[in-house]
Amino acid sequence: MSDLPKEEVIDVLGDLAKVTNAAQFLNGVQNNPELVFEAVKTLAQQSIGEGTAASQLEKAYKRILEKEQQLLTSSKELEIAKEGLRELEK
């Protein structure tokens, strides 16, 4: 075999595998441009669509604000009702 240490041989083989994978990927891209276009289009739509984490977070935040507003309104109504009961008890 060669005089190279085992670790270097493994590193070289790993690099060769990466290059082979990259070459196969590029070959696939060249042979299927429509597929690549559709994949990129889908990713772009997902990044700006309703299903993104940011839009879901924004919707959740709006729902929290709405619930807080409802709670505040209900608390005020409860205080008014308590005040009315106190007046009736007198």
For residues 61 and 88, membership in a common domain is answered with: yes
Domain around 17: 1-48
For residues 40 and 59, membership in a common domain is answered with: no
For residues 38 and 70, membership in a common domain is answered with: no
Phi, psi of 25 (to 5 degrees): -65, -50
Each residue of 24-80: pLDDT tens digit?
Answer: 777 777 787 787 788 778 777 776 766 667 777 888 889 999 999 999 999 999 999
Number of domains in the chain: 2
Long-range (24+ apart) CB contacts under 8 A made by 71-77 are none
The owner of tokens 């009315």 is 84
Each residue of 3-31: pLDDT tens digit?
Answer: 767 777 777 788 878 787 777 777 777 78
Tokens (6 digits) for 61: 């935040």
What is the pTM (predicted TM-score) of this model? Answer: 0.42
For residues 11 and 39, membership in a common domain is answered with: yes
For residues 57 and 42, membership in a common domain is answered with: no
For residues 39 and 11, membership in a common domain is answered with: yes
Give residue 87's pLDDT band: very low, low, confident or very high (50, 70, 90). confident
The contacts of residue 36 (CB under 8 Å, 6+ apart) are: 29
